[in-house]
Structure 1
Amino acid sequence: MFGDNQEQNVGTGAVAVQAGNDVHITQNGLSYSEVRDVALDVFRANFFQLAGPAMETAKARAEEITEDFLKKLQQENPDGFGKGQDPDFQHALFTVQREYARNGDKDLGDLLIDLLVDRSKEEQRDIVQIVLNESLSTAPKLTDSHLAVLAIIFLFGYTQNQGIGNHAMLGEYFDKYVLPFSTKLIKNPACYQHLQFTGCGTPRMNALTLEGILASTYSGLFLKGFDKSEIENKQISIGLDTNLFMICLNDSEKIQVRANNLEVLDERFKANGINEDDQVKIREIFQMGKMSHDEIREKCVSIRPYMAPVFELWTESQMNSFSLTSVGMAIGHANIKRLTGEFASLSIWIN
């Protein structure tokens, strides 16, 4: 138990910490165990005093999350142990310890650990480091529903998976990245007001439908196709080249362009040396026979029925008109990574 008595007995090679206010510890060449000891010393020196069992609970939680963090750091970024001597990183670690010690929420703890591991990868004070520091203080102010909303808005509004080549893969994508959050989404306006208050996002004037986002990002999955004769009618010189064309995913009697969106199509043009005249004609064909928004929704729900309430919540809540700040993106990113175990680097979106 931590008390007011500052008398200490220090063994050989041990680290002594004694102060009435904030303390940071600096050492060189810290090992796993040394970083652990330093981290717990910082917690003891900085955490406010509680009475009786509450202090013991807080101490146990601090030790738990410190150990969990160091294990994950060792797996993902062993070089991060060197950050144990950085005052700013010690402060970030103490923030994680303090917040977990207060509530003991395991999901929050895992989220904070992911954010802190990402923070350990930043070598200099840049925008990513600043955003991650702020995210560590902001995430504890959010509920599971807030975190789920941030994850889904980030997923659909700010990312695309170019590896989705058919409807089966789309279903697997929904299973991995949408299903874990689908039952936690809410449309209560207070949810979005609080997200705005905590600096995670801001409302915008124009609303984006989820069907529209999917139609733009994954157009190739929602095409009705065209007859082979269109290739000849438009006098496309490469003919029915399988690098650019394939059997339509939604109608096996027809053909479609082999690309999910115009960006991917342009990359295929470059990779296959397609001439400018053919490029113009193929882009025209790509825009033909697109599914309506209602048809896109029906297709997604037929693939995964649990998508029905996701579409409904997106339509009826402020999710469709809520822009994320850098902090909102960082927390949404970390929440996805927490449940899926992997995701692209945050620096792709924040740099």
Structure 2
Amino acid sequence: MAWLRQRGGDGAQLIQAQSVNYGISVQDAEHICLKLMQENLARYSQEAFDVARERVEEFAVNYLTELNKQAPESISNLKDPGVQSAVLDAESGFAKSGDEDLGEVLVEMLVTRTLGTDRNVLQLALNEGISVAQKLTSKHLAALSLVFFFKNLQANPTDTESLMGQIRSLIQPVCADFENFTDSDSRYLVATGCAVQSIATVSWQEVMKQRYPGIYHRGFRPAETPSMEKILKEIEDPNAAASLFVMADEEFYKVNAITKESAKTLGETAGLTDTSSLIELMTHNPIPEAEISDALKREIPEFSSFLDAWQTLGFDSFDLSLTGIVVAHANMRRLAKDAFGARIGVWIN
């Protein structure tokens, strides 16, 4: 979303020159979004009151505009006490700082929160995310999104080039905010409940090998792999059989897929009743971790500081909580924009 700096004066309608159809009047929407903060603002000094009110008006414009764009029928949910509580919390957070980056993250979560009134895990995680995001700086948001990419996100590339393109689109906008992240910041994320540290550790290179085995394994030699011949014999259609494997080079063959999920689909389409042997072939001869590291840093130099910090700052043992996931997701939506359209319901339902 593009952050709007439009504000309303006393009695002015905040949404101007826009097509709005909320199901309740614009005046009602203004009343809910602005009057909710009136009691809180009354405690401020006059100067602080004026600044905070302007920020609340600015936040309301962006929230209602985005809600109207995504789900105008859900504006009626603003009458729900739970939604109003979330609106008040988000407005209060933006009023304190006026940070536009935080505002966009809060709007992303608040719009999703407004879509439903059922009390469920997603609603609770969004409520907590709205509260916790206010306690984080840009580098904390960046770290959560970068860990989210490795630990929770599965891209769907067709080859190495497309994977690098997807990583650039998703990650490059995030990397700049990660600068100057320290061990104290890492421990602070755990303290806020956005992440937990487990005993088990995993290198980011191992994560990439697990998620994209078709890219980060060299392949197999047919003479040393009896299962290849067994797989081919199971398939009656020679054209379907030929689609399963490709030559990686003069020595190695590879399964004609990048992810385990795509290999499973490939095998089932070809007529395999059991695709486990095909998937197992994808993991032969893994590329050394140092080589994976050098290649990714060469392709995306901006990624280097985070990759180098993976172990030293404890990200190798990080697992995001549901709160961390909703905040990381909202921040990635803010920065990656159209390159990342997945809704939070993919991860929390």
The one-letter amino acid paired with 1:234 is E
The match for 2:171 is 178
Change (3 A) 1:46 1:87: farther
| TM superposition shift of 1:322 | 1.3
Note if contact 2:198-2:317 (Cα within 8 Å) is conserved in structure 1. Answer: yes
Q: Any idea what the Cα deviations from partners look like across 1:82-111, whole Å, max 9, x if unmatched? A: 112111111111111111111100100010
Aligned counterpart in structure 2 of residue 136 of structure 1, from 127, 130, 135 = 130
| TM superposition shift of 1:137 | 0.8
Write the distance in 1 (CA, Å) between the matches of 2:331 and 2:121.
20
Q: How does 1:150-229 map to 2 (within 5 A)?
A: 150-162=144-156, 164-185=157-178, 186-226=180-220
Change (3 A) 1:316 1:121: same
Identity %: 26
Show structure 1 runs of 5+ residues with no match.
1-10, 12-27
The match for 1:317 is 313
The match for 1:298 is 294
| TM superposition shift of 1:187 | 4.8
Note if contact 1:225-1:255 (Cα within 8 Å) is conserved in structure 2. Answer: yes
Write the distance in 1 (CA, Å) between the matches of 2:246 and 2:44.
67
Higher alpha-carbon deviation: 264-273 or 104-113: 264-273
Partner SS, residue 308 of structure 1: helix
Write the distance in 2 (CA, Å) between the matches of 1:297 and 1:57.
47
The match for 2:111 is 117
Note if contact 1:187-1:318 (Cα within 8 Å) is conserved in structure 2. Answer: no
The match for 1:243 is 243
| TM superposition shift of 1:280 | 5.5
Write the distance in 1 (CA, Å) between the matches of 2:23 and 2:141.
37
The one-letter amino acid paired with 1:337 is R
Note if contact 1:201-1:323 (Cα within 8 Å) is conserved in structure 2. Answer: yes
Write the distance in 2 (CA, Å) between the matches of 1:56 and 1:230.
75
The match for 2:259 is 261
Please give the root-mean-square deviation of Cα atoms over the aligned residues, in Å: 2.5
Show structure 2 runs of 5+ residues with no match.
1-10, 12-21
Write the distance in 2 (CA, Å) between the matches of 1:229 and 1:199.
52
So what's the TM-score if we normalise by structure 2?
0.84
| Matching of residue 273 in structure 1 with residue 267 in structure 2 | no
Note if contact 1:259-1:265 (Cα within 8 Å) is conserved in structure 2. Answer: yes
Note if contact 1:32-1:81 (Cα within 8 Å) is conserved in structure 2. Answer: no
Note if contact 1:36-1:67 (Cα within 8 Å) is conserved in structure 2. Answer: no
Write the distance in 2 (CA, Å) between the matches of 1:46 and 1:310.
40
Change (3 A) 1:198 1:231: closer
The match for 1:76 is 70
| TM superposition shift of 1:306 | 2.7
The one-letter amino acid paired with 1:344 is A
Aligned counterpart in structure 2 of residue 344 of structure 1, from 325, 333, 342 = 342
Partner SS, residue 90 of structure 2: helix
Structure number with greater Rg is 1
Change (3 A) 1:253 1:122: farther
Note if contact 1:30-1:84 (Cα within 8 Å) is conserved in structure 2. Answer: no
Write the distance in 2 (CA, Å) between the matches of 1:281 and 1:83.
51
> In the comparison of the two structures, how many residue pairs are matched?
321
